[in-house]
A and B are shown apart, each in its own frame.
Chain A
Amino acid sequence: MPKSPARPKAAAAPEIMLPRVSPLADVAIQGRFGADRGAPGVEFRVRHPMSIVTVIARQGQGSAVAAALVPHAPQWAGPDQYFVIAEGRGEGALYRELKSALDGIASVSDQSHGRVIIRISGVKARAVLAKGTPVDLHPDECAMGKSALTQMAHVGVHLTRVGENAFDLSVFRGFAESFWEWITEQAEEFGYMVR
């Protein structure tokens, strides 16, 4: 059996001086855009920096992993697969924590930099999302906390209901700018705020 090398210093290092730069840093400009009659129908916020970790149960460990993840409010991301997300954790901290906690029962991969989460909220949030996804987001069909994997504008989106009129949209980082341009255009008719 090959032996694992000792974990490098990164495994323990909590603080890094370099700031994380969002791929939407130059694109998601704060302010009001689109139609300017009345209150804006939609609000966008880029959630960054985030810790995002993929957890996939190993063979036969689906229930064990689901149980172990309860305190982390996991988001469903496919069969026996979850995203665990958190704000304000150090680089790699959530990843290391879960990797250690789920050792042997789940595969854990850090995606904190690989995905970008855009929060869309407001009375017209559903109307904007209906321009992209075939998923029925009526509260009777998509309850609070429910996640769905779908495509919008040819981009894979992990969507989670986080409020009555609020959704988190998680996309691969490389598509973030393109997706941002598309979804904000879809919101123009209702007027939108970027915060």
Chain B
Amino acid sequence: MTSFRLDKGGLIDRSSELNFTFDGKAFTGHQGDTLASALIANGVHLMGRSFKYHRPRGVISAGASEPNALVELRDGGRKEANTRATMVELYDGLIANSQNRWPSLDFDLGAVNSLASSMFVAGFYYKTFMWPKSFWEKIYEPIIRKAAGLGTASKLPDPDKYEKAYAHCDMLVIGSGPTGLMAALAAARSGGRVILGDEGSALGGSLLSEREEIAGVSGYNWAQGVLAELASMPNVTLMPRTTVVGWFDGNIFGAIERVNDHVIAPSPYEPRQRYWRIIAKRAVLAAGAEERPVAFGGNDVPGVMLASAMRTYANRYAAAAGKSVVVFTGNDSGYRTARDMQAHGVHVEAIIDSRTESKADAGGVPVLRERMIANVSGGKGVAGVELTDHTKISCDAVAMSGGWSPIVNLACHRGAKPAWNEAILGFVPPETGKAFVAAGSAAGRMLLSECLADGASKGTLAGKALAVPKCRDEAFAVSPLWWVKQSTGKAFVDYQNDSTAKDLPLAAQEGYKDIELAKRYTTTGMATDQGKLGNVNAIAILAEATGKSIEQVGTTTFRPFYTPVAFGAFAGPFTGHHFQPVRKTPLHDWADELGAVFVETGLWMRSSWFPLAGEDWLASASREVLATRNGVGICDVSTLGKIDVQGRDAGAFLDRLYCNTFSTLAVGKARYGLMLREDGIVYDDGTTSRLADDHYVMTTTTANAARVMAQMEFAHQALFPELDVTYVSVTEQWAQMAVAGPKSRATLQKIVDDLVMSDETVPYMAAKEVTVLGGVPARLFRLSFSGEHAYELAVPADYGNMAARAICQAGEEFGIVPYGVEALSIMRVEKGHVAGGELNGTTTAADLGLGKMMSTKKDYIGRMMAMREGLTDTNRQCVVGIRPVEPGDRIRSGAHILKLDDKPSMANDQGYLSSVAWSPMLNMWIALALVSNGRARHGERVRVWDGLRGHETIGEICDPVHFDRENKRLHA
């Protein structure tokens, strides 16, 4: 027989033929196969090379714990490294490649590491490569990284989609074996909302792999009956291909649903994987138990595998691990493998049982008691075994069973440690409270009847527990079997990290006696499988080496995630253009039509400049400034935060928020306000207008809008709850535009209804409710950031684009230009208005030249702390203007100010340029700067030192108002 496919049985669809390649070689398998089972059925046992020694490796398990058979799955942008062949569902066109081998899996030069293996003992990196120190980074590490390792990641973008989703339930059942099915059925019949999740491609857990009977039918058929009932219930959600990977505070579980990993490529409308956050009122851990390997010489030769895995390959996948097998066990469950293999027509040479006696049924297979396998012979496949009494047996596969470990991981994710149970020789879950309980073999109940009963009882939400079906129990008796010390070959404890049984006593001898230290020194329990198979053996061996009990040694820390999770699943859909939402202003289309270049400001897209053909940003912004100052310009300022503040105490509340006073503001007027933090530093600024006695509308800077809103909510609710005030963001209700320049009034007059605009009807700092364009309600403010005679007009957002177009039309005769934030910024630097560069979280009101705004007549946030010595020191850096002495010189933002005679050094630092602009009005570069005691130094010449860019020039300190110091234009 060239094939190792059994003639009958298994849950595979023999009518299907799936073609796949492994290391470029073509194979076929069937629907229902995993990559591992299909390779075994094709007689391929060699699936990878080991991490350190490059030893040939095959599958150890048939499930999630697989440490050896890690492959690179798929290719191109879909390539996924370190994929467990035991979990990969076979599909037509599957491409897999082995890892960590060169030039080929069959002939790997790295295997010479095995010859030098005495070097590669525990801690070898630390011992060998520490000297000379400089060699580590440049020589040792790159070589080691190249030789030792796992698969490689694709450097191409992942073309597939990932999703995130929430689910809610009364009962989450994790695992769909006999325990899980009973728990889910009990909960579902109680009427609760139930989610049943299982990492397997099909639900049924161990019942898919074992030959046993429940309620007089095969376990498989019984499971199908229960699943059919569950599927018919509207309160039940069945989630196969879903691995619950973490248990978090609040009984929230993280789960990865592999929606489309089993097809060659997902439909363009579907995700590859979905990360679920399941909020469960209660949950049952029915994850089952994991069989342990045994440490003996050559226990990693391809063909040596867990006894339960060998059964699974035969029973579920109809794939024979060999033609002639030996079973090595220290407990009764190995006998099932011998019987099952024999039933499939595979020759079983013998059961090697380390114990003196056993009541288990050997099914006629010879049992060699009180003996163990010392060594396996063979390289890339098993040739035979040598027992501790030196008996030699020829065989081509070995099934091993060191006992069973309940899968406790999830129960330990929130910090509790599992407890050692001497009766079953395994760690059982800690007490985790009522909301999350373990059941069945995950809780250490190792008989089928116990599992069914425990599931029924733990799953019941209300009323009486479910009736438990009858079944026949397999024998379960176990004796310690960790390490065959008579072995001469390498006896691996942790396959994936190539750590051997001898490494642990060595670690203990060298002082690393604590399990957490021994783990890190030997690397046992690390990497993708996190010691699922090897940890208990390692703990037992370390216990013996240190003279402690297993309980005293304890386990390492269990952390999420139970199995490796793709980064894509964590990112979900929030990549590329969904990385963060985009916020568009109501004038976006208008600006876009006029060729605006947009800039991200927080989430907002703001029009930055409006270039004409051939203009760069500076030419465009300069033209916009000149046109505005000489005629009229229009700018989108909708992004400023706008908050409706209403109520009897609205004025009193604003008085607490701002350092200046608003309760005295007249209705119909606006006032500039400065807000401090409680530590006395300036927080935000903006104008607030009073629309009625009990109604203000305040504005915030674009950047701080959300934070200021949160600060208001805090101030009112936590600090001043006695105030009768309400506040709500109306930022998005209004499209707001600044219309600035000597022709701004003439322009707006053409669109305002029934109002003759003059200094009397709309005086400086007026705030009026008006209508425009034949009845559109609007708010008209006479405010100026540019220093020009200027207005801000707000219209309801849906009219925004039309209103802006109408203003442009109205201003056409005056040469109106749209201007962006670059021109806005130039004009404010020309006028010495402070903005983000100066309101930078380190400056006080006095630093900004606004000290007089601080009221002494009321309590407000920041008042007391602003009085501190350090914040009132006259040597503090305060806002000044800086101009280059040679008008042609360029100065740049961030450059430092030094005294003229000082050497360029930060020790001589006097301050820095916080905002720099090219002034088209003055034809030179100008700046605002924060300079020590700057106000007293106007006229002083200083060095402007840009150490970062290697540039230096001479500048002069001046008044921050560079242009129109008398504010003639504002009132023109």
**A: which residues have CB within 8 A of B?**
1-5, 7-11, 13, 15-18, 20-23, 34-35, 49, 54, 56-60, 81, 91-92, 107, 109-115, 130-131, 133-134, 136, 138, 141, 153-155, 172-175, 177-179, 181-182, 185-186, 188-189, 191
Contact = CB atoms under 8 A, between A and B. Distances in A.
B770 A8 contact: yes
Interface of B: 163-168, 193, 267-271, 277, 279, 573-574, 577-578, 580-586, 603-604, 644, 646-648, 665-668, 690, 692-693, 695, 723-724, 726, 728, 730-734, 753-754, 768-771, 773-778, 796-799, 801-802
B163 A131 contact: yes
Contacts of A13: 771, 775, 777
A182 B578 contact: yes
Given A10-B777, A107-B726, A173-B797, A153 B574 contact: yes
A173 to B, nearest CB: 4
Contacts of B695: 107
Contact of B668 (A5, A136, A174): A5
A84 to B, nearest CB: 13
Nearest to B276: A130
B777 A177 contact: no
A34 B754 CA distance: 52
Contacts of A131: 163-166, 573
A21 B774 CA distance: 17
A181 to B, nearest CB: 8
A148 to B, nearest CB: 13
A54 B724 contact: no
A35 B775 CA distance: 46
A136 B586 CA distance: 33
8 contacts: A16-B774, A18-B776, A18-B802, A20-B799, A22-B798, A107-B695, A175-B583, A186-B163
Contacts of B692: 4
Nearest to B773: A18
A174 B777 contact: no
A174 B732 contact: yes
B584 A10 contact: no
A136 B581 CA distance: 24
B733 A110 contact: yes
A115 B731 CA distance: 10
A91 B769 contact: no
B576 to A, nearest CB: 11
B191 to A, nearest CB: 11
A58 B667 contact: no
Interface centre among A35, A113, A134 (most CB of B within 10 A): A113
A152 B641 CA distance: 22
Contacts of B578: 153, 181-182, 185
A35 B164 CA distance: 19
A145 to B, nearest CB: 20
Contacts of A191: 269
Contacts of A10: 769-771, 775-778
Nearest to A177: B584
A185 B693 contact: no
A15 B776 CA distance: 9
A111 B771 contact: no
A92 to B, nearest CB: 6
Given A8-B777, A131-B165, 16 more contacts: A8-B768, A8-B770, A10-B776, A13-B777, A17-B775, A21-B798, A23-B586, A34-B269, A107-B644, A109-B730, A113-B796, A130-B166, A172-B583, A174-B604, A175-B583, A186-B163
Contacts of B773: 18
Contact of B573 (A22, A153, A177): A153
Given A7-B769, A56-B726, A113-B798, A17 B667 contact: no
B706 to A, nearest CB: 10
A58 B648 contact: yes
Contact of B581 (A58, A130, A178): A178
A173 B771 contact: no
Contacts of B268: 188
A21 B573 contact: no
A48 to B, nearest CB: 8
B263 to A, nearest CB: 14
A82 B165 CA distance: 28
Contacts of A173: 586, 732, 797
A23 B571 CA distance: 28
A103 B771 CA distance: 23
Given A9-B775, A21-B798, A189 B167 contact: no
Contacts of B574: 153-154
Nearest to B647: A58
A32 to B, nearest CB: 12
Contacts of A60: 724
A130 B165 contact: yes
A28 B732 CA distance: 20
Nearest to B695: A107
Nearest to A152: B581
A181 B581 CA distance: 10
Contacts of A181: 577-578
A136 B775 contact: no
B586 A15 contact: no
Contacts of B582: 175, 177-178
Contacts of A114: 730-734, 797
A49 B798 contact: yes
A21 B802 contact: yes
A18 B799 contact: yes
Contacts of A4: 667, 692-693
A118 B962 CA distance: 50
A46 to B, nearest CB: 12
B279 A16 contact: no
A59 B652 CA distance: 14
B462 to A, nearest CB: 15
B728 A134 contact: no
B697 to A, nearest CB: 9
A56 B728 contact: yes
Contacts of B734: 113-114
B667 A182 contact: no
Contacts of A141: 168
Contact of A186 (B573, B604, B728, B768): B573
Most buried by B among A18, A54, A58, A60: A18
A5 B668 CA distance: 7
Given A111-B733, A114-B733, A2 B581 contact: no
Contacts of A188: 268-270
Contact of A155 (B167, B279, B581, B646): B581
A92 B777 contact: yes
A133 B164 CA distance: 10
B724 A59 contact: yes
Nearest to A174: B583
A16 B581 contact: no
B460 to A, nearest CB: 20
Contact of A113 (B573, B723, B733, B768): B733
A134 B799 CA distance: 35
B736 to A, nearest CB: 12
Contacts of A81: 728
Contacts of A92: 777
Contacts of A5: 667-668, 768-769
A134 B796 CA distance: 33
A131 B257 CA distance: 13
A172 B642 CA distance: 13
A175 B269 CA distance: 23
A186 to B, nearest CB: 7
Contacts of B164: 131
B724 A91 contact: no
Contacts of B647: 58-59, 107
Contacts of A20: 796, 798-799
Given A2-B667, A20-B799, A58-B726, A175 B165 contact: no
B583 A115 contact: no
Contacts of B666: 2
Nearest to A185: B573
A189 B266 CA distance: 11
